[in-house]
Amino acid sequence: MKKIFAIIVCFVMTLTLAACGDTATENIEPADNPTPENTAEPAEDVPENPEETPAEGGKTLVVYYSATNNTEAVAGYIADATGADIFELIPTEPYTSADLDWTDRDSRVSREHDDESLRDVELESAVPDNWGDYDTVFIGYPIWWGIAAWPVNGFISANDFTGKTVIPFCTSSSSGLGQSGELLEEAAGTGNWLEGQRFRSGVSEDDVKDWVAGLEL
Ligand SMILES: Cc1cc2nc3c(=O)[nH]c(=O)nc-3n(C[C@H](O)[C@H](O)[C@H](O)COP(=O)(O)O)c2cc1C
């Protein structure tokens, strides 16, 4: 009788240990392969301020204005490197080379420079399709007299940058980015604006791609 009792006790203990073993195995989380299901860590990117909630869609857009194609080339390099869509800002009345002659005090661009009220350049389109899908927006322009060429202003005022990361870039002969990005950020009033980057007019594709890689987007 004692033997039978001992056998039953052993059997019950074996079953209990086996059950514990299974439970322990289920609780082991692969440290090097965390997924939302197997980690209790809070998501890193949850912003405290709802105003900074990233836009949905996770897409990247490169917006640019370019009068003589230098900025356009850089915009293309960035789009290739990031797989972004491109949106060109085209003035309804494009600038001719005579318009762009800054050595002529009477040229269009000189008059606009001298009189800020003339800088309201109408664009063929200022609002990209599916704007809400983009959470990262590069905005490119040439430097004119140390600031962003003003045809970009209409794009800035026409759009809400809430929840978007905005990265200004420019091309110039010699001037730096200066305050151009900050002035656009101020005009926009919304968005998470990064410092941005100036490129020389004929910058190489490799140099632009190195910069993009450094952003770690
Ligand atoms: C009206 C005008 C003003 C400019 N002002 C400056 C300037 O202040 N500093 C500078 O380094 N380059 C200046 N540039 C040169 C342009 O910034 C440079 O050529 C730029 O790469 C042109 O870009 P885009 O080909 O995309 O239009 C100016 C060019 C123009 C037409």
* pLDDT confidence band for 164 (50 / 70 / 90): very high
Domain range annotation of the chain: 57-215
Give, rounded to a whole angstrom, the gap between the first and last alpha carbons of the chain. Answer: 74
134-161 pLDDT per residue, tens: 999 999 999 999 999 999 999 999 999 9
Percent pLDDT > 90 in the chain is: 72
Burial of 83 (0-12, 13-18, 19+ CB in 10 A): exposed
User: Structure pTM?
Assistant: 0.78
> What's the CA-to-centroid distance between 161 and ligand 1, angstroms?
26
Q: Which residue has the higher pLDDT, 147 or 22?
A: 147
Is 80 exceeded by the pLDDT of residue 51? no
What DSSP line would sit under the chain, residue for residue? -HHHHHHHHHHHHHHHHHHHHHHHHHH---TTS--TTT--SPPTT--SSGGGPPPTT-EEEEEE--SSSHHHHHHHHHHHHHT-EEEE--BSSPPPTTTT-TTSTTSHHHHHHH-GGG----BS--S-TTGGGEEEEEEEEEEETTEE-GGGHHHHHH---TT-EEEEEEEESS---TTHHHHHHHHH--SEE---EEEETT--HHHHHHHHHHH--
pLDDT attached to residue 22 = 38
Contacts of 192 (CB under 8 A, 6+ apart): 52, 164, 165, 166
Is 60 exceeded by the pLDDT of residue 86? yes
The residue whose CA is least distant from atom 4 of ligand 1 is 144
Contacts of 13 (CB under 8 A, 6+ apart): none
Ligand 1 atom index nearest CA of 74: 26
> What's the CA-to-centroid distance between 94 and ligand 1, angstroms?
16
Residues with CB under 6 A from ligand 1: 66-72, 100, 102, 109, 142-146, 171-175, 201
> What's the CA-to-centroid distance between 127 and ligand 1, angstroms?
25
Angle, helix 70-82 to helix 205-215, in steps of 10 degrees: 50
Residue 200's DSSP bridge partners are 172
* pLDDT confidence band for 216 (50 / 70 / 90): confident
List Cα–Cα distances, 120 to 126, 136, 144, 176, 193, in angstroms: 12, 26, 15, 24, 23
Classified by CATH at the fold level, domain 57-215 comes out as Rossmann fold (3.40.50)
